Amino acid sequence: TARRLQARAARQGHLAQLLHVFHLLPAFLVRMSSDVLDTALKLPHVKYIEEDAYVFAQSIPWNLGRILRPQPSSGVYSPPNKGDLAEIYLLDSSVQSSHREIEGRVTVTGFENIPGEDGTHFHRQAGQCDSHGTHVAAVLSGRDAGVARGANIRSLRVLNCQGKGTVSGTLMALESVGRALGARPRVVLLPLAGARSPALNAGCRRLARTGAVMVAAAGNYRDDACLYSPASEPEVITVGATDSQDQPASIGTLGTNFGRCVDLFAPGDDIIGASSDCSSCFTARSGTSQAAAHRRVGGSVPSGCHSRALAGIAAVLLSAEPRLGRAELRQRLLRFSSKGAVDTAWIPEEQRLQTPNSVAGLPARLAAEEQRLLCRSVWSARSGLSRRSRAVARCASTEEMLSCSSFSRSGGRLGEHMEDELGQRRCVARSGGQGVYAVARCCTWPRAGCRITGGSPGAEGTQCSPGEHVLTGCSFHSPSVVLGAGGRPVEGLGRGPSRCASRTGAVAHALCCPSASLECRLEEH
């Protein structure tokens, strides 16, 4: 396709310079004039064209003492393990690997793909260029300031001395990481954000599906995280930031991003971290692109930044359970988080329900757990306002959807149902004319072999096979009538509810799972 584009451009008197052919995803990077765009769009196999864009460093800090409360006897940060079985790939600026905080803990890979600085000579000043990456590396595994003090870090440079990189450079770094992945549990940290990029999201998604755990900053623009990449990619664990008072972190007129694309928050304010000014210097930092300060807990120097500290927590969890998949790891992070801790009044009202109220943390002890059902709620974007509009929520590829519901602020909705799409279940909500959200309940569980049983408008409900399956969720929709309450599950004999009862004119769908796997009960509010 790239050669065909070059040939057609040449026939039109234009140059299309091929810069890179990606192997991580079916894409190539080309420098061409806008006159060639129409030609490129007409080529077979071209799905979309995306202009290469900038990404920027994101670093609101947080406090180790909030991750793990110090034990009264010691007063120091003492995690369950040092994260020494995990490897963290850091995509950032350059790193001063000789700093005493991180000496021997960071491998500088030699990968570098950065844009030129804007009218400056910062690239000649090593201290300026190393500042961001050095601080982040210390947050991850520093001797005094690190979350996972035994984790091994591999540094790839994608940000220049001004904290600016490109989508193409980040994709090339991800490609390099993909070639280097070994048997160890691996975490890929992207403490950067740019405008939403389908290409960057696709690259992150493909790398995640090879087994890597992707962690990214939500962004520091006081905006919907779904408008930014890589934060908007569902296979990425996206981290927002709170301050020491559990308020969403704000700096000047900006602050942490929020919304349904955020998985959880990490607290952040006043952090001390390694400084690149000298090999033993520490510094307090603040700002949207580089920020850190400190809060002492006993004799320790707690330090960290929201996405970086979360990557450190992931390394600790993976060291306790190296076989954890990315979906199971996300569920563990949510399970160990503090619920209801964030004061959501700062978040715009239309985004509060979709924004998770969970702050990351670690238990005092970790041990390999038996397989257990862990679930989270995944919201869709709001549908359009017409009566034909639909909203769709999907689980991650390795999760199982065990229920589907819908929500409309006005109460007007036509209901919801689950359906299979290319082998993966999705939750579809139907608008009643004023917009609707679909809400899927996504769980990690040994594949239960659940199936959808659909009713008909005149059947007033549907049910699971008695004795073989248990009902885990009901959904209801109507072709034309606003449902209101819609319907409800009905208690049956044996192991929990077995039937979905719907009102006249509504179609019921039941999700039925093998009874040997689950035991359910009905709760009404």
Above 50 in pLDDT, residue 292? no
Strand (E) positions, 384-506?
Answer: 390-394, 400-407, 413-421, 424-431, 437-444, 451-454, 462-463, 469-477, 487-491, 497-502
- 117 and 196: one domain? yes
92 is catalytic: yes
How much is the average pLDDT of 261-287? Answer: 66
pLDDT per position as a tens digit, 131-175:
778 888 888 888 887 888 888 999 999 999 888 999 999 999 999
Q: What value does the mean pLDDT take over residues 322-343? A: 90
Catalytic residue among 92, 224, 243, 269: 92
Q: What strands lie across the sheet with 437-444, from one edge to the other? A: 374-379, 437-444, 400-407
Residues 435, 336 share a domain: no
243 is catalytic: no
Domain containing 435 — which CATH number? 2.60.120.690
Catalytic residue (choose from 168, 289, 307, 502):
289
pLDDT reading at 25 higher than 70: yes
Residue 519 is assigned to a structural domain of this protein = no
Of 132, 294, 477, 509, the active-site residue reads: 132
Q: What is the pLDDT of residue 46?
A: 95
Sheet holding 424-431, edge to edge: 390-394, 424-431, 413-421, 469-477, 507-514, 451-454
Q: How many separate domains does the chain show?
A: 3
If asked whether residues 400 and 464 sit together in one domain, one would say yes
DSSP secondary structure string for all residues of 8-24: HHHHTT---EEEEE-SS
* 394 and 421 assigned to the same domain: yes
Which residue segment(s) compose the domain that 39 sits in? Answer: 2-49
Residue finishing a domain among 333, 359, 385: 359
| Stated pTM of the model | 0.85
CA distances from 297 to 83, 141, 342 (A): 21, 18, 22
Residue 190 is part of a domain; what is its CATH number? 3.40.50.200
pLDDT of residue 60: 43
DSSP 34: G
